[in-house]
Amino acid sequence: MTTIVIIKCLKIIEQMNLKGKEIVEDFTIAKIERIYNGIGPDRFPDWLRDIVTMANGLFEPAAMIHDLRYHIGGTKADFTAANDEFRENCYTLVKAAYAWYDPRRYKWLFRAWRYAGYCQEFGWSGFHKIGEKCECSACANYTEKTEKTENTESAEDKATSEAAEAEKEVAEAEKCAGCENCTCGKHEPETGPTVKKKKKSKKKGKK
């Protein structure tokens, strides 16, 4: 989901004082972009989810909070509470958009009730259970990118360490090359040509 849509939903959540609005404070906009994928389950293809989201744009702020609830996860009771909260937030959004005398109000209220029922009936598999690793597409993609980055950084650190070790060995070699008393055990000491000293001959004096 785009940053513009996220910011728009955040403003509506605050203005309408939707239930669960405090939950968004625990996430950055970038994190919400990875979690919130519109209206519809993860198993929907992108094109279908886009259609459903466009047709039900009124519910997007409620759906964002709902997706964050599913991402955090918890127990079966938490699952039911998240779906109830979604329904109540959708009701709030509908009542703010349509007056009591507008027939569309009751059409949308029924749709909100029906969608919350779908979530309760079929959404358990997408709700994160306690201790369960997140398998949603957003987190899977993020984890993959993070692992690639970590692997790249690790390879770079290893290469840097090896280069530093090589430089150290070269420095040691330069330091002890030519030393007649080399004790490093890695290099053969260099020795110059041997200079033979001439023995001084003793002159015998004449008697």
- The 10s digit of each residue's pLDDT in 63-93 is 999 999 999 999 999 999 999 999 999 999 9
Amino acid at 126: G
Give whole-number Cα distances, 125 to 73, 79, 119, 135, 172, in Å: 11, 10, 10, 10, 62
Give the integer Cα–Cα distance in Å for 14 and 22.
Answer: 9
Quickly state the pLDDT bin for 142 (edges 50, 70, 90).
very low
For the segment 16-43, the average pLDDT, to the nearest whole number, is 91
- pLDDT of 189 > 60? The answer is no
Give the integer Cα–Cα distance in Å for 24 and 69.
Answer: 10
Quickly state the pLDDT bin for 195 (edges 50, 70, 90).
very low
Higher pLDDT, 193 or 89: 89
Mean pLDDT of the chain: 80
Higher pLDDT, 24 or 133: 24
Two tokens at 58?
Answer: 């009124």
Q: Supply the angle between the helices 103-122 and 76-97 in degrees, to the nearest 10.
A: 170
Query: 44-53, 125-134, 144-153: which has the minimum mean pLDDT?
Result: 144-153
Residue 173 confidence (pLDDT): 61
Residue 155 confidence (pLDDT): 63
- pLDDT of 122 > 50? The answer is yes
The answer to pTM > 0.75 is: no
